[in-house]
Chains A and B, each alone.
Chain A
Amino acid sequence: MVFTQDDARKIAKKLGAKIEQGKRRHDLAVFRYQDKRIAQFGIRRASKEVGHGHLPDELFISPHQCRDLGNCPLSLEGYVAILRSKHKILDPQTP
């Protein structure tokens, strides 16, 4: 399954990730949930289409889920639920 920087930017937009301008060759998309930094992924700056096959790893999901995240079937809420199940997002502690 091939992912490009366009897919990466599309996913970043969907997650509401903040794009930090890296000092070097990448922009860094930082995904926060409830004010906590949860995940980030590099987006290569390139005029041509370049592969970002590592996106699923950096987002802690499968390639199929990553494709769904970019193409709508997987919502932000769905993605958050997956991260919760993998303990990448911790539930707020109840008093």
Chain B
Amino acid sequence: MAVSEKRARRPYGLFVKCGHRVIASDPVHAPLRLFAPESGRWKTKVGVPAPATANVVPSDQVQSVLETWVGGEGTLEKTVRQLESSLPRVSEAYAKCVWGHTGALPYLEFLLEFEKRFQRIERELITLRSSCVAVISTFAPEPYDVLRPIYATLRQSDGEEYCASFTDANLHSSGDNEEEAIDNLKSLILDVYDSLTCEKPEDLGPEPVKQLAVLQSFLAKRANGVHPG
């Protein structure tokens, strides 16, 4: 890959080239732009400053920010993949800049800024992914009453699977999608509840005692064993 410098048609612009392709521009003098390899075109011109309250930004807003930063389209995952695929080439450009290419300083500044933005996006995504919560408010048609809503955390694990957790009771289950993971967790909660309530209290160790206490504060089996309606 050749790192070269050329003047843009506009009065600003230093570009990093990969072969005949320009893969990044210099934000010191120009707004951030990245090359989208699949379309072969520039898609965005505007560099957007990182949101100050990244951990409360909804995913659609993060996607919007990502799309503006990277010029991606479609899903968040696609945008992230674009960003990841861009990074090695940018790093290569970075390495060549370090070895004394003429006019390397603006590239270095750009690349360091790029790296910071990438790390910031990673942190935002981890925060967003780990903060997804589902509320369990019913076990219908099972004959159990929910005494107060159960907040289950949902996270994607192992690439394709989703894991739902009721952390207070240390109960976890997984599924192919969010809905299945929650359904499996509900099923497990009832199975464990039934199993623990059948035990004599003196047969329970410290953790099952705690689990049973937590479960009894969140749900109760209906006395007649029938779900209304």
Contacts and interface: CB of A to CB of B under 8 A. Distances in A.
- How big is the B interface, by class? 20 to 34
Contact of B199 (A37, A42, A51): A37
A14 interface: no
A54 B172 contact: yes
Contacts of B194: 23
- How big is the A interface, by class? 20 to 34
A37 B203 contact: yes
A26 B191 contact: yes
A60 interface: yes
Nearest to A34: B205
Nearest to A24: B187
Contacts of A42: 171-173, 188, 191-192
A37 B184 contact: no
Contact of A37 (B187, B190, B191, B205): B205
Contacts of A6: none
A87 B206 contact: yes
Contacts of B207: 38-39, 60, 88
B191 A88 contact: no
B172 A51 contact: no
Nearest to A60: B207
A2 interface: yes
B208 interface: yes
B203 A26 contact: no
A1 B7 CA distance: 49
A94 to B, nearest CB: 18
Interface stretch (B56-64, B80-88, B158-166): B158-166
Contacts of A22: 187-188, 191, 195
Given A44-B173, A50-B174, A58-B171, 7 more contacts: A37-B196, A37-B203, A42-B171, A50-B161, A53-B157, A53-B158, A57-B165
